[in-house]
Amino acid sequence: MMDSNGTKNGEIIYCEVAVVGSGPAGQRAAMECGREGRDTVIIDRRNLKVGGVSLHVGTIPSKTLREAVLHLIGYRHKHLYGDKYQVRQHICLKDLTERVELTLKRELAVLESQFMAAGVKVRYGEARFVDPHTVEIHNRMDKSRILLKADQFVLAPGTVPRHPEDIDFDYETIFDSNFVFSHKSHISELPKSLIVVGAGVIGTEYAAMFAALGCRVTLVDRHDHILPYLDGDIKRLLLSEMEKMGVSMVLGRGYRSIRRLENGKGMVETDTGKKLTADAVLVSLGRVPCVERLNLPAAGVDLGKRPVIKVDENFRTTAPHIFAAGDVIGPPALASTSAEQGRIAGRNVLGYTVRDHRPELFPFAIYSIPEASLIGSTEEQLVRKAIPFVKGVARYREVSKATIKGGSVGMLKLLFSPDDWKLLGIHVVGDQAAELIHIGQAVMSLGGRADYFVHNVFNYPTWAEAYRVAALDGLSRLNVPSHLDGNEMGGA
Q: What is the pLDDT of residues 43-58, one digit of tens each?
A: 999 876 899 999 999 9
Q: Looking at residue 6, what is its pLDDT?
A: 58
What is the overall mean pLDDT for the chain?
A: 92
Are residues 139 and 124 in contact, defined by beta-carbon separation less than 8 angstroms?
yes
pLDDT at residue 101 is higher than 90: yes
pTM, rounded to two decimals: 0.92
Going by pLDDT thresholds of 50, 70 and 90, the confidence category of residue 420 is very high
Going by pLDDT thresholds of 50, 70 and 90, the confidence category of residue 87 is confident
pLDDT at residue 374 is higher than 80: yes
The three-state (H, E, C) secondary structure of the chain, written as one string: CECCCCCECCCEEEEEEEEECCCHHHHHHHHHHHHCCCCEEEEECCCCCCCHHHHHCCHHHHHHHHHHHHHHCCHHHHHHHCCCCCCCCCCCHHHHHHHHHHHHHHHHHHHHHHHHHHCEEEEECEEEEEECCEEEEEECCCCEEEEEEEEEEEECCCEEECCCCCCCCCCCCEECCCHHHCCCCCCCCCCCEEEEECCCHHHHHHHHHHHHCCCEEEEEECCCCCCCCCCHHHHHHHHHHHHHCCEEEEECCCEEEEEECCCCCEEEEECCCCEEEECEEEECCCEEECCHHHCHHHHCCCECCCCCECCCCCCECCCCCEEECHHHHCCCCCHHHHHHHHHHHHHHHCCCCCCCCCHHHCCEEECCCCCEEEEECCHHHHHHCCCCCEEEEEEHHHCHHHHHHCCCCEEEEEEECCCCCEEEEEEEEECCHHHHHHHHHHHHHCCCEHHHHCCCCCCCCCCCHHHHHHHHHHHHCCCCCCCCCCCCCCCC
Q: Looking at residue 100, what is its pLDDT?
A: 93
Say if strands 266-270 and 255-260 run parallel, antiparallel, or are unpaired. Answer: antiparallel
Q: Looking at residue 5, what is its pLDDT?
A: 62
> What is the percent of the chain where pLDDT is above 90?
80
Of 307, 326, 323, the residue nearest 315 (C-alpha): 323
Instruction: Give the chain's domains with CATH numbers.
Output: 12-161+288-359 (3.50.50.60), 174-285 (3.50.50.60), 370-476 (3.30.390.30)
pLDDT in tens, 288-347: 999 999 999 999 999 987 789 999 999 999 999 999 999 999 999 899 999 999 999 999
Going by pLDDT thresholds of 50, 70 and 90, the confidence category of residue 69 is very high
User: 116 pairs with which residues across the strands?
Assistant: none
Summarize the confidence of residues 160-175 as an average pLDDT: 94
